[in-house]
Structure 1
Amino acid sequence: HSMNADEDQVKARLAQLRCHFTWKLLIEDTELSDLENRVFDEIEFLDTKFNVGIHNLLAYVKHLNGHNKEALESLKEAEDLMQAEHAGQSDAMKLVTWGNYAWLYYHMGRLADAQIYLDKVENTCKKFASPSCYTMECPEMDCEEGWALLKCGGKNYERAKACFEKALEVDPENPEFSTGYAIAVYRLDGFNKTPHVDEAFCVQPLKRAIRLNPEDAYIKALLAVKLQDLGQEAEGEKYIEEALANTSSQTYVFRYAAKFYRRKDSIDKALQLLKMALRATPSSAFLHHQIGLCYRAQVYKISKTAGWQPRGRDRENIDRIARLAISHFEFALEQKPTFGIVYIHLADMYIQAGNNRKAEDAYQKLLCMKSLEEENMQEIYFRYGRFQEFQKKSEADAIIYYLKAIKIEKPSWVRDKSISSLEKVVLRKLQRNPEDMESLSILGFTYKLKGEMNKALEYYERALRLAAD
């Protein structure tokens, strides 16, 4: 009986475990160092009862980075925490930790050690009369999977939400499950910005999580930002003040409080909070992006006050502040090269600083990114179209990118803006040359999109007559 047969058997058992190695966490290679930083920050600054899981995730990330010895140390820390903190702790957490041990030993070629941990899992599953020897179905396990998915970036959020939903079906009043669910829905809400929906989908879950976790300042800060989105700024500010009065998870509360004050136009207050947070987590891509946005707001303020024609002292201030914004955006992108929206904001600031070549570079990086969602592409095409129209003075390229944005049929304010921008460019072209066949048919197309069929037909017919001549 050969070694290979053993290995196949172990592999078949490993595949049945529920742990970080089997949860199909979608993580791009370029996101790994940022993820590792975020996990370290969370271990240090987020006051949670859920630290065993985050040490497990850290072990998995270290393994992905090829550091198996260090990964074992992180699992050891998770084990020590389990023994220290949670005498009556859920078995789900033990199973996840043991599962990760088994996988790690397997990858290190230590099959006997892997088998020891497989046996531990098997004994626990037997104790709970689980139908499978190596898989445990329980809401705590769904919750652990949810936290792991939630930490690994946007492509995992839908699945994270589903995990917490499944856990809540079994135990609807569980404070931890409701927190995870509320955070997942909050983040998904941030993605699906549709203008016509009252998108307060996450307000109820957040309020419920607060009721069940009255001490959790982090969720209060999220709710505040959401209420502000919905035009309920005064109510939001009450939650921000409550969250700031509490010292728990302060570094994280500062982030969202700063976002709140920046959008309320209290830029100085926002910057003060962000700089305090930065002292704790200096490599946070989120913080550098937020600081950059504060400087960007200052640039636009000066520019607007100067009637968009800044000269002299105004021009100098814009150049100086734009440079600050640029340095923070670039730092955020070094930390997290997949942080799409930051490229748009970076290009903005290069345009303000009069450097179109660098702005073009930022757009090119974005246009080459594989992993962007459709609605993000819609906005990128629109912004790049504006760049072509106003900075590059190329109507032809502007038209191409507005059309690309419109082709993505998801309804959004960006798509509406793309349609009206396209219409303006084409009308300008027709003023110069009323016989321009292409412009006539594109104008017909924009009317068709707006549902004005008679006008659409009129322009299509004019284009066709010209074609026939």
Structure 2
Amino acid sequence: MPDGSKTDLLLAKAEPISNGGDPLVDEGKAVDVIYLDFSKAFDTVSHSILLENLAAHGSDSSEQLKEELDALQCHFTWHLGVIGHAGPTHVLQKLAVEIKHTAHQNQAVLLGLQAYLYHLKGQNREALQSLKDAEEHETQDEQQTSTAGSLIIYGNYAWIHYLQGSYEEAQRYLKLIQQLWPPPLDARLIPYIQAQKGWSLLAIRARNGERARECFEVALMLEPENTYFRAGLGMALYFSWSYFWYPDIARKAIIQLERTVLEQPNNYRAKIYLAKLLEHVDIKRSINLIEESAEKSSDPDVLRISAMFWQRRSAERTIKILQRALQQDPGYHLLYQVLAKYYKIQWLNAKEEDKKNILEAAINELKQIVQKHPDLDILFVKLQLAEFYGVRDPAQEEMIYKELQEKRDTLSPKGRQALDLYWGKFFLHKKRSIHEAKVKFMNGYKIPMLTEERKECGWRLIKMARYCSSDDADVIYHFMQETDRHLPAEFAGIGLDGWWEPWAGESRVFFLQS
């Protein structure tokens, strides 16, 4: 057991939320904070129920209940960055694959995350079922992992009942938590709570990599030899690199993941992430890791990344791996996104006499996917289908963009950037309207999320500036400078010159041609 001073330090680093503090917020780095104030309860339950409960319990007692809930460690208090940044539907579909194929000790916390996401969609019955499933899994875990998992699950129960207006039920779970884990919280639980928070952050999106990294570093301060925590740190570093592309993060990620693949030879997610990091460092080793992972893993996400690696190298391998992945999980929406990109690369690189056949095959298959899976988040498949339609009928392409524009408010920031990018390219190449193309690229660039789509919007604006009048070029450069000046702190150090480094060589040619 650590001494008192070190325990205090760890508790501070573990981001306690009873006082509303979050180191990332204090440093001005977090732009994804969800402020769960009392008024937000009106978004998830009818006014009449809330008013009845307020009359029965009084606003003071409900405010006190809210303060106690805010002090819990659970998915409702971790500011995971879903609202306004990643659509719950997309994350739920991605999470279903994660739960099925993840390491056993992660399943309970991921089911708790699933409950939180269902709640955001207003599906509270499904949310409560996910928590029941989580309870079953956490009883099979090691003692400390199980205890931390129970604390998180009961916290989620309390929050869901509170937001439904069931204050007595919420209070019951709070009392249960206080009985099982009377304050102060056992310091031995801190690393396991932080690790579960880290895994939850990673399950949402790559942008959370740095916050997840902090969680696993805190966990490793108390248990430096825990291979489970080390694997989490390696993956957090990989996710951080995939978002920011900083070379120093890549080097640290390689060191951690090299250790993980030695300690956990069946951890194919660690192996496929290491392969991606080594792609421009040691291509031979990278290929060996990718081939091993594709051959031995049944995880659709591992197979998806393997297929993406082979897209520009071997059409036969790409389609074979994708077919295997779709057999494992035909509902995994990101596989269809890879398939759409595969068709585009095939069409771009085909001989002139073969282009028509590839185009027809692509349109037929992507059209069937869209019709067969209306509930999947497959925006990028629709955009690629639109682009293929535009080869033979530009009006049909624009019609799809207009239909998607009507649903713009339901799209994620990345989705809105992608729509602006594709529509901008349509105006540029099909309508020959530089002004309308510029407006679309500017719209995409204004959305403050670091994505491939935003970068390409910026690159196309710079290319436009090189070929237009000096006055028009000045307008573009001024717009980009002013936009960048107001970006969140996380964009610091990301310059235009470094944008295309990850797409060196043939990958960059793809963007230039598209």
TM-score range, shorter chain: 0.7 to 0.9
Aligned to 1:14: 69
> Among 32, 36, 41, which residue is 2:88 paired with?
32
CA–CA distance in 1 between the matches of 2:402 and 2:225? 46
The alpha carbon displacement at 1:290 in A equals 0.9
Relative to structure 1, the CA distance from residue 198 to residue 150 in structure 2 (aligned partners, 3 Å threshold; closer, same or farther) is closer
Flag the structure with more relative contact order, 1 or 2, with Cα contacts below 8 A and sequence separation at least 6. Answer: 2
> Among 97, 104, 109, which residue is 1:53 paired with?
109
Q: 1:324 aligned to 2:365?
A: yes
Contact persistence 1:381–1:402 (CA under 8 A): yes
* Worse overlay, 365-374 or 254-263: 365-374
Contact persistence 1:18–1:96 (CA under 8 A): yes
The alpha carbon displacement at 1:96 in A equals 0.6
Contact persistence 1:35–1:152 (CA under 8 A): yes
> Among 234, 252, 265, which residue is 2:284 paired with?
234
Relative to structure 1, the CA distance from residue 148 to residue 207 in structure 2 (aligned partners, 3 Å threshold; closer, same or farther) is same
Aligned to 1:392: 431
**Size of the alignment, in residue pairs?**
416
Letter in structure 1 aligned against 2:462: I
Structure 1 unmatched runs, 5+: 427-438, 450-469
> Among 190, 193, 196, which residue is 1:138 paired with?
190
Larger Rg: 1
The alpha carbon displacement at 1:332 in A equals 7.7
Letter in structure 2 aligned against 1:76: K
Letter in structure 2 aligned against 1:119: K
Aligned counterparts, 1:302-321, within 5 A:
302=350, 305-306=351-352, 314-321=355-362
Aligned to 2:377: 336
Relative to structure 1, the CA distance from residue 405 to residue 2 in structure 2 (aligned partners, 3 Å threshold; closer, same or farther) is closer
Aligned counterparts, 1:195-344, within 5 A:
200-201=250-251, 202-228=253-279, 230=280, 232-247=282-297, 249-263=298-312, 265-302=313-350, 305-306=351-352, 314-325=355-366, 327-328=368-369, 335-336=376-377
Once the two structures are superposed, residues 115-158 of structure 1 have per-residue CA deviations (whole angstroms, 9 ceiling, x without a partner) of 343233224443x7439xxx997121111112222223356444
> Among 57, 64, 68, which residue is 1:3 paired with?
57
Letter in structure 2 aligned against 1:291: L
CA–CA distance in 2 between the matches of 1:199 and 1:233? 19
SS in 2 for 1:282: coil
Contact persistence 1:224–1:260 (CA under 8 A): no
Aligned counterparts, 1:340-379, within 5 A:
345-359=384-398, 361-362=400-401, 365=404, 368=408, 371-372=412-413, 377=417
Relative to structure 1, the CA distance from residue 240 to residue 372 in structure 2 (aligned partners, 3 Å threshold; closer, same or farther) is same
Per the normalisation by structure 2, the TM-score is 0.68
> Among 461, 465, 472, which residue is 1:422 paired with?
465
Relative to structure 1, the CA distance from residue 262 to residue 198 in structure 2 (aligned partners, 3 Å threshold; closer, same or farther) is farther
Aligned to 2:503: none
Letter in structure 2 aligned against 1:318: L
Per the normalisation by structure 1, the TM-score is 0.73
CA–CA distance in 2 between the matches of 1:254 and 1:157? 22
CA–CA distance in 2 between the matches of 1:326 and 1:92? 46
The alpha carbon displacement at 1:216 in A equals 0.6
